[in-house]
Structure 1
């Protein structure tokens, strides 16, 4: 309680100071949201048990048509609107996030607009809140339980060929752990996509084993805050580096306060770019040695490659592109120039 009061006081002081002077970085009503959430170990109405991890099935972008704990996950197969022959995406949110946050809602809306997938959202918010170190240390055991649930789905009739894991930040490591355990059970996940995979504690793997190209048949990564909240080096079979893959991404304010929502802007751009690509925008890129060579046009002879689910799984290497500062972020073919 004292911590929350202290945080509120800091926010009030910053807001007042910002109103009186223009020297501080911008702050707003949600600026300290991530910090406050780190002090809540269990969201209201949830338990810290691994059995309370849930998978939500969406057929529209508003409310899930079904919510299932891992132990009863096979009921998804009889959920109205679920087509076991369709490709299925399983999306995992990041640290201290709810499934009602903009990140998840934006992803769900994009896949609904796409229309070609069963949409499953992994709700692990019951163990994703609290101390970052403790949450990170629990990723491997949580991944093992998720793997068991997904194996039951596949053996119950879910098409394994169309299974696509997509995670943001620490959610990438969670799905990587699940994919490794699924592989040990004889089911190799076809594709794992990482959206600015969490950096602190995982590279080097002090707090847990990091996601890697060995986790799935094809692993692609999108980097938007490399060296900050996201990892700064290539991690997949294919790695995409919008605007060089580092902060500040276009449209994000240059001066921020550490751990505020404004400071996470570049980290969160990864799911914004991915969602727009899923919904149909074309983010063209080119394979190149580095961003400087890309900007100097030294890779202009390399064929353009699309970031997103339409990229294909045969590509390898590092791919660079430019984006716009506001929605729509896609620059089309110009983004690869």
Structure 2
């Protein structure tokens, strides 16, 4: 019943803007089926089973550490505390080896020069949505403790960049707040379409805000649907208005299927492409309609993605292509 209630909660918030049709795939109902699983096979809903996965140079051979024994990572011969570190956090009912996570990891491996850590919190992120949302406090606190151990062990704070998708953004915010309470301010926190239901307003947990890190940049791709409906960072980027349906996503979908998450998932696709070198250029503007009318063309071009200028403030708009490569360069900012 809890799982059903959780998805009824989701439907109440999101389905109003969704129209139903029949295009389906073999994976269409994967996310829905995962809500019926309290925890993934072989996992336990305990703080000690939260895991951090380290990728060296090969995506097929990662090393896994439980948060309580994270100091072992410092002894890994491939882990270089002097390198910049990206800490990626997946969303609700996702696994560390899902295509979404692997896409981001592969992008960083291709770029090179980074320690890549992935937070595997699926043991709390499965089951009903409300339960998962209420768990982000525990997950964030325990992960924050683990990261603090790495920082005390010599990991470069200056190079630390936390990137979260969907509900993972809310976990990221709590990690950053925990570290801040210990006198450690995360330099940069990036939110990829932060989860909307239950967080705006803050019913399940306080959502991400500019106070959480030195620089908070947010990418919106399904604002008001599965993603946050309003600005919530220092710099908020709104590709294609930041709402569904994103170009290339089916106009008619069955609610809560993989096809229906297309716009929400565009955020990690855009991010991965930017990491690989895609140029997503945008301009600051008051709103998307004003942007489309060309009234902000005198505003400077700025970059959305890993190379974003951390001094940016405000709302930025751009257009993308309907399929990969999504980045349009300067054309996307015209």
**Offset of residue 291 of structure 1:** 0.5
- State the match for 1:83 in structure 2: 80
Report Cα offsets for 1:219-252 as digits up to 9, x if no partner: 0000000000001100000000000000000100
Query: Superposed, which structure 2 residues align to 1:1-337 within 5 Å?
Result: 24-60=21-57, 62-337=59-334
In 1, Cα distance between equivalents of 2:21 and 2:178: 47
Supply the distance in 2 between the matched residues of 1:76 and 1:212 (Cα, whole angstroms). 30
Structure 1 residue 210, shift from structure 2 partner? 1.1
Report the counterpart of residue 11 of structure 1 in structure 2.
Answer: none
Deviation, structure 1 residue 281? 0.8
Q: How many Å separate the matches in 2 of 1:166 and 1:42? A: 23
1:63 is displaced (CA, Å) by 2.2
Indicate the larger mover: 217-226 or 140-149: 140-149
Task: Give the deviation of 1:261 after TM superposition.
Answer: 0.3
Give, in angstroms, the shift of residue 61 of structure 1: 5.3
Deviation readout 1:147-167 (Å, 9 max, x if unpaired): 100000000000001100000
User: Is the CA contact 1:60–1:108 (under 8 Å) kept in the aligned structure 2?
Assistant: no
Counterpart contact for 1:61–1:109, Cα < 8 Å = no
The answer (yes or no) to whether the contact 1:56–1:64 under 8 Å persists in 2 is: no
Tell me the distance in 2 between the aligned counterparts of 1:58 and 1:135: 26
User: Following the alignment from structure 1 to structure 2, what is the Cα–Cα distance between the partners of residues 61 and 173?
Assistant: 29
State the shift of 1:59 in Å. 1.9
Q: Distance in 2 between matches of 1:95 and 1:106?
A: 17
Output the aligned Cα RMSD: 1.5
**2:258 & 2:240 partners in 1: Cα distance?**
20
TM-score by length of 1: 0.92
Aligned residues of 1:224 and 1:267 also touching (Cα < 8 A):
yes
Question: Of the two, which has the highest radius of gyration?
Answer: 1
Following TM superposition, by how much is the alpha carbon of 1:100 offset from its aligned partner in structure 2, in angstroms? 1.1
1:64 shift after superposition: 4.0
Give distance in 2, aligned partners of 1:280 and 1:83: 23
For 1:103 and 1:29, how far apart are their aligned partners in 2?
A: 17
5+ long unaligned stretches in structure 2: 5-19
Alpha-carbon deviation of 1:55? 0.5
Matched residue SS, 2:178: helix
User: What is the CA distance between 1:49 and its match in structure 2?
Assistant: 0.5
Q: Deviations over 1:58-86 (max 9, x none)?
A: 12453243110001112212213211111
Q: Is the 8 A contact 1:160 1:189 kept in 2?
A: yes
SS of 2:24 mapped into structure 1:
coil
